[in-house]
């Protein structure tokens, strides 16, 4: 893993928030993570919405479900080959999990446009510590087939994997995997015990996540407003249902570690503040200079120490 120095910081009492700030960060994200034509997709959705608002909302959610698959490196493929692969079927989705080692089980869940190989260093250490690691490759990510993945779809897939065991020692998550992982866990917590959660670089709720990625596409605020109201027809539940606070409370607040970085252009600092304000019992570890992915030995060590406690 790359070595970088972490400067732990404290959450400030107030964090400025303006729409212009959001749009500026969305522009940086679009340049860094999306293909050049992405803004033309947003413009097309905005035009469709003017003619037919419902169709515009549907297209917006469809566009947000398109997975941008990262090219796997030889080291990533070697990591996958070292685990026991299992195919899962969940609705229209097909996806793989990979199991490594023996011992108390730890589930590792990646975010959007990532894949299970991001956990290679964690798996190596967890196995050395006597844990079994189960890594999800989300549909349309890593080696799993497909082209689309929605938030409700990912929740259903994670829920299915969680329900295969009566006990998980820990669940380690990153980005969209944190929000979907917590919601999935709350759906199965009466039959599946989870001792502790690690949340890395996560939004407080799906509204913030959807808004950020819509702005990367150049979706207008009018389309966003209508999409928020339309979500209940798309997902079967209102947008406010998809929030960390609601589902962690339903699980009787398991021990939880939150790790976030002050220079994350994907998840703004105010999201960390919202989480800690609403869930004051959460242990937190804040860094600077690492960005969204949180690649650093110190972060890995902090997570592993929390798992081992």
pLDDT 10s digits, 168-205 = 999 999 999 999 999 999 999 999 999 999 999 999 99
Rounded-to-10 torsion of CA 214, 215, 219, 223: 70
d(CA 145, CA 95): 7
* Least confident piece of the model among 89-93, 105-109, 159-163, 208-212: 208-212
Band of pLDDT at residue 18, cut at 50, 70 and 90 = low
CB atoms within 10 A of CB 296: 19
Q: Rounded to the nearest 5 degrees, what angle is found at the Cα of 9, between the Cα atoms of 6 and 12?
A: 155
Q: What is the percent of the chain with per-residue pLDDT over 70, rounded to a whole number?
A: 90
Number of Cβ within a 10 Å radius of residue 141: 25
Burial label for 127, CB within 10 Å (0-12, 13-18, 19+), is middle
Reading the block at residue 216, the tokens are: 């990367």
Q: How confident is the model over 226-285, as pLDDT tens digits?
A: 999 999 999 999 999 999 999 998 888 889 999 999 999 899 888 999 999 999 899 999
What 3-state DSSP class applies to 52? coil
Averaged pLDDT score across all residues of the chain: 90
Secondary structure E strands in 186-295: 193-200, 256-261, 283-287
The CATH number of 19-33+65-205+242-308 is 3.40.50.1820
Helix, strand, or coil here: 117?
helix
The better pLDDT of the pair 19, 163 is held by: 163
Q: Give yes or no for a contact between 93 and 137, defined as CB atoms under 8 angstroms apart.
A: no
Above 90 in pLDDT, residue 32?
no
3-class state of residue 175 by DSSP:
coil
C-alpha 275, offset from chain centre? 15
CA 198 to CA 258: how far, in whole Å?
Answer: 6
Burial class (CB in 10 A: 0-12, 13-18, 19+), 98: buried
Q: Where in the chain are the domains?
A: 19-33+65-205+242-308
pLDDT recorded at residue 6: 38
Cβ(47)–Cβ(233) below 8 Å? no
Neighbours of 181 (CB within 10 A): 31
Task: In whole angstroms, give the CA distance from residue 143 to residue 53.
Answer: 36
Query: Within a 10 A sphere around the Cβ of 92, how many other Cβ atoms?
Result: 9
Compute the distance between CA of residue 210 and CA of residue 216 in angstroms, rounded to an integer: 10
E strands in 252-292: 256-261, 283-287
d(CA 21, CA 204): 18
Cα dihedral angle (210, 216, 221, 224), rounded to 10 degrees?
Answer: -30
Backbone angles phi, psi at 262, to 5 degrees: -70, -15
């Amino acid at each position: 893993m790359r070595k970088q120095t972490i400067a732990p910081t404290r959450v400030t009492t107030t964090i400025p928030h303006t729409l212009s700030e959001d749009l500026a960060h969305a522009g940086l994200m679009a340049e860094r993570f999306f293909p050049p034509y992405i803004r033309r997709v947003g413009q097309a959705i905005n035009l469709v919405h003017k003619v037919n608002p419902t169709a515009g909302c549907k297209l917006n959610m469809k566009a947000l479900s398109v997975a941008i698959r990262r090219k796997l490196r030889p080291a990533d493929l070697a990591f996958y080959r070292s685990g026991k692969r299992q195919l899962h079927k969940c609705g229209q989705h097909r996806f793989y999990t990979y199991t490594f080692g023996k011992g108390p089980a730890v589930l590792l869940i990646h975010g959007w446009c990532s894949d299970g190989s991001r956990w290679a260093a964690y798996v190596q250490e967890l196995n050395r510590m006597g844990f079994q690691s189960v890594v999800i490759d989300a549909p349309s990510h890593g080696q799993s087939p497909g082209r689309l993945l929605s938030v409700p779809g990912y929740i259903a897939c994670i829920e299915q994997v969680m329900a295969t065991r009566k006990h998980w020692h820990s669940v380690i998550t990153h980005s969209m995997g944190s929000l979907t992982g917590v919601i999935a866990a709350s759906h199965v917590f009466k039959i599946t015990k989870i001792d502790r959660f690690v949340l890395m670089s996560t939004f407080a709720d799906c509204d913030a996540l959807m808004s950020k990625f819509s702005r990367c596409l150049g979706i207008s605020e009018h389309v966003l407003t209508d999409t928020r109201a339309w979500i209940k027809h798309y997902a079967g539940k209102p947008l406010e249902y998809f929030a960390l606070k609601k589902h962690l409370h339903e699980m009787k607040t398991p021990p939880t570690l939150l790790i976030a970085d002050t220079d994350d252009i994907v998840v703004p600092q105010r999201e960390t503040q919202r989480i800690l304000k609403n869930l004051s019992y959460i242990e937190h570890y804040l860094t600077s200079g690492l960005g969204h992915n949180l690649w650093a030995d110190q972060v890995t060590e902090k997570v592993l120490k929390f798992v081992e406690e």
